[in-house]
Structure 1
Amino acid sequence: MSYYTSISGLKNAQADLGVIAHNIANTETTGFKKSNASFADIVAKSAMSDPRKTQGIGATMEAITQNFTVGSVEQTGSALDIAINGDGFFATKAAKDGSMSYTRNGAMMLDSNGHIQDGSDNRLQVFAVNAEGAVTNPAPVDALVPPANGAGAELAGLTIAEDGLMTATYADGTTTAVGRVALASFASNTGLQQVGSSNWEATGLSGQAVYGEAGSGRYGSLLSGALERSNVDIAEELVGLISAQRNFQANAKAIDTATRITETIINLRS
C-alpha cells in the first residue's frame, strides 16, 4: 500500500513542477495569468470503519486554479496598445468562425480592411456609438475604423480614452467616434478555459460574458499606450519550485524505504 501512496505523491509533485514551470516560462507573456495547483488527500473507508483507525492512501490533484490579479503595466506609446485597470476582459471574435474569446492582452493592430484585431484575426469588440460618443446598441460589434472619411481624407490617427471611446482623426483635421471598447466580466473568472495566446473561452463554470463600458462597475478603466505584463512573481515561483522538488524527493525516498523493508522481510523468510 505504501508504494501506491508514495506514487500518488510523486505524480502530484510532478504536476506541481509542471504548473510552476509553465508560470516561469510565461514570465514575459503579455496578459498571462499564473496558475496554482491544489491537492487533496484520499481516504478509503467503509461505513463500519473505526474513525480512529482510518488510514489515508495518498493524495490527488484537486484543481489547477488561475490567479487573475492585475499584473504590472508597461508603457509602450502605441495608441493601439491598451491595458485594463480593473477586472474586465477584452472581447474578440474570430473572423473565421465567429467564436468568442476573451483576453487581458491589449496589443491590437489595424488590418488592411480597417478592423482592429490581435494579429491572429480575432477582431476587437466595441459598442456602436453616435456622433457624440453615446452607445446606441448594447450588443458588441467588430471594431472597424474607416480608412477615409466622407470627404475622402485619409486616416491620420486613432485615440482611445479611459472610458473606451475610440476616436479616429483624419488628414483634414476632422474626427469621428468609431465605437466604445466593450469589456466583459464573468461570474467566476477561475471557470474560464485557457485556449492559448493569453486567451480564454467562457464555460459553464465561468458563466456567460456580461458586457459593459470601461470605467463602470468592476470593468475598470483603460490605459492607452500601455500593456499589462504577466502577473508571475519569479521569486515566488522559484521558491515553489524548490518546495515541489523537495516534495518529489521525499516521496521517492518513501518508495525507497518501502523497498528496503520489503527486501528485509524477504531475506528473513529465506
Structure 2
Amino acid sequence: MSYYTSISGLKNAQTDLGVIAHNIANTETTGFKKSTTSFADIVAKSAMSDPRKTMGIGSTVESISQNFSVGSIEQTGSALDIAINGEGFFATKAADDGSMSFTRNGAMMLDQNGYIQDGSDNRLQVFPVDAAGNATSATPVDAMVPATNGAGSKFAGLTIAEDGLVTVTYGDGTTQPVGQVALASFASNTGLQQVGSSNWEATGLSGPASYGQAGIGRFGSLLSGALERSNVDIAEELVGLISAQRNFQANAKAIDTATRITETIINLRT
C-alpha cells in the first residue's frame, strides 16, 4: 500500500514541476498567465468503515488553474501594440475557419489586405462605427483599415484611443474612424481553455463571451503603444521549484524506506 501511496506523490510532484517549468519558460511571453497546481487527498472507505481507522491512500491533482492577474505594462511606442488595463480580453477570429479565440497579447499588425491581426491570421474584432466614431452595432466584425480614403489619398497611420476607437489618418491629413475595439469578458476566467500563443477559447466552464467597449465596467481601458508582460514572478516560481523538488525527494525516500522494510521481512522469513 505504501508503494502506491508514495508513487501518487511522485506523480503529483512531477506534475507540479512541469507546471512550474512551463511558467518559467514563458516569463518573457507577452500576455502569458501563470498556472498553479492544486492537490487533493484520496481516501478509500465503505459505508461501514470506522472513521477512526480510515487511512488515506495518496493524493491526486485536483486542478491546474490559471492566475489572470494583470502583468506589468511595457511601453513600446508602436500604435498597434495595445495593453488592457482591466480584466477584458481581445477577441480575434481565425481567417480560415472563423473560430473565435481570446487573448491578452495586444501585439497586432496590419496584413497585406488591411486587416488588423495578431500575426497568426487571427483578426482583431471591433464594433462598427459611424463617421462620428459612435458604435452602430453590438456585434463585432473584423478590423479592417482601407488602403485609401474616398479622395484616393493613401493610408498614413492610425491611432487607438483609451476607449478603443481606431482612427486612421491619410496622406491628405484627413482622419476616419474604422471601428472600436471589442473586449470580451467571462463569468469564470479560470474555465477558459488554453490553446497556445497566449490564446484561450471559451468552454462550458467559462461561459460564453460577453462583449463590451473599453472603459466600461470590468472590461478595462486600453493603453496604446504598450504591451502586457507575463505575470510570472521568477522568485516565486523558484521557491515553488525547490518545494516541488523536496516533495519529490520525500516521496522517493518513503519508497526507499518501504523497500528496506520489505527486505527485512523477507530476510526474517528466510
Normalised to the residue count of structure 1, the TM-score between the two structures is 1.00
The structural deviation recorded for 1:269 is 0.6
1:23-42 matches, within 5 Å, as 23-42=23-42
The structural deviation recorded for 1:121 is 0.4
The structural deviation recorded for 1:80 is 0.1
Partner letter of residue 129 of structure 1?
V
Whole-angstrom CA distance in 1 between matches of 2:37 and 2:251: 18
Aligned twin of 2:113:
113
Q: 1:111-133 CA deviation, whole Å, 9 max, x = no partner?
A: 11110000010000000000111
2:144 is equivalent to residue 159 of structure 1: no
Partner SS state of residue 102, structure 1: strand
Partner SS state of residue 178, structure 2: strand
Gaps of 5+ in 2: none
Whole-angstrom CA distance in 2 between matches of 1:14 and 1:111: 42
The structural deviation recorded for 1:44 is 0.3
CA RMSD of aligned residues (A): 0.3
Aligned twin of 2:216:
216
Ranges of 4+ aligned residues in structure 1 off by more than 3 Å: none
Aligned twin of 1:170:
170
The structural deviation recorded for 1:171 is 0.5
Partner SS state of residue 52, structure 1: coil
Aligned twin of 1:50:
50
Q: Aligned pair count?
A: 270
Partner letter of residue 103 of structure 1?
T
Aligned twin of 1:267:
267
Whole-angstrom CA distance in 2 between matches of 1:204 and 1:42: 27
The structural deviation recorded for 1:185 is 0.2
2:153 is equivalent to residue 135 of structure 1: no
The structural deviation recorded for 1:67 is 0.3
Normalised to the residue count of structure 2, the TM-score between the two structures is 1.00
1:1-270 matches, within 5 Å, as 1-270=1-270
The structural deviation recorded for 1:174 is 0.3
The structural deviation recorded for 1:15 is 0.1
Whole-angstrom CA distance in 1 between matches of 2:264 and 2:185: 61
Gaps of 5+ in 1: none
Q: 1:212-268 CA deviation, whole Å, 9 max, x = no partner?
A: 000001000000000000000000000000000000000000000000000000000
Whole-angstrom CA distance in 2 between matches of 1:108 and 1:148: 20
